[in-house]
Chain A
Amino acid sequence: MKLTIQKFSYALVALTLAFAMSCVGTSGSENEEHEHSEGMEHKEATGSMKTEHKHNEGEEHPNEEHEHGDGMAESMMGEAFTWMAMEESKDMLAYKTDNVMMRKHGEDNVMMFSPKGDKSSCMFNGKQGNVGVTATIKLDGSDGKVKLIHHSIDKDNYEFVALKGNTMNLGRVEKGEEKILDSKEVEVPTNWFTLTVTAAGSHFKGYINDKMITHGHADEMAAGYVGLSASGNSVLSVKKVETTPLEAEH
Chain B
Amino acid sequence: MELLPEWAPGIHPLIIHFPIALLSLAVSLTVLAIFYNPKWITKSTLGLYVVGTLGALASYISGKDAADSIGLNFKAELAIGTHSDWALYTLIYFGVFTVLYYVVFFTLKKESILFRVISAALAIIGFLILGQAAEYGGRLVFEYGLGVQK
A binds B: yes
* Number of chain A residues close to chain B: CB under 8 A: 32
Once bound together, how far apart are the Cα atoms of A207 and B69, in whole Å? 11
For window 4-30 of A, CB contacts with B under 8 Å fall at 4, 7-8, 11-12, 14-15, 18-19, 22-23, 26
Is there an interface contact between B77 and A7, defined as CB atoms closer than 8 Å?
no
B residues 50-78 in Cβ contact with A at 8 Å: 68-72, 74-75, 77-78
CA distance A21 to B141 in the complex (A): 22
Q: Does B48 contact A (CB under 8 A)?
A: no
Looking at A42-50, A142-150, A195-203, the stretch in contact with chain B turns out to be A195-203
Contact B71 A210 (CB under 8 A): yes
Stretch at the interface among A100-108, A230-238, A241-249: A241-249
Cβ of A134 to closest chain B Cβ, rounded Å: 8
Flag if A11 contacts B31 (CB, 8 Å).
yes
Whether B32 pairs with A8 at a CB distance below 8 angstroms is yes
Set of chain A residues within 8 Å of B69, measured between Cβ atoms: 212
Q: Determine whether the beta carbon of B32 is less than 8 Å from that of A11.
A: yes
Whether the pair A201, B78 counts as a contact (CB closer than 8 A) is yes
Closest to B76 in A: A247
Flag whether B87 is at the interface (Cβ < 8 A): no
Is A54 on the interface with B (CB-CB < 8 A)? no
Instruction: Please give, as numbers and ranges, the residues of chain A lying within 8 Å of B81 by CB-CB distance.
Output: 200-203, 249
Judged by a CB distance under 8 angstroms, whether A240 is at the interface is: no
- Residue B99 at the chain A interface, CB threshold 8 Å: no
Which B residues are in CB contact (< 8 Å) with A155?
Answer: none
**Does B8 have its Cβ within 8 Å of any Cβ on chain A?**
no
Report Cα–Cα, A8/B74, bound state, in Å.
45
- Asked if A130 lies at the interface with its beta carbon under 8 angstroms from chain B, I say yes
Are A130 and B78 CB-contacts (below 8 A) given A7-B35, A12-B28, A23-B135?
yes
CA distance A15 to B85 in the complex (A): 23
A244 to B76, CA, bound (A): 12
Q: Which residues of B contact A15 (CB under 8 A)?
A: 27-28, 31, 124, 127
Q: Which 8 A/B pairs are nearest by Cβ-Cβ distance?
A: A203-B81, A249-B78, A210-B72, A11-B31, A7-B35, A132-B74, A4-B36, A200-B77
Chain A positions within 8 Å of B, measured between CB atoms, are 4, 7-8, 11-12, 14-15, 18-19, 22-23, 26, 130, 132, 196, 198, 200-203, 205, 207, 210-212, 215, 244, 246-250
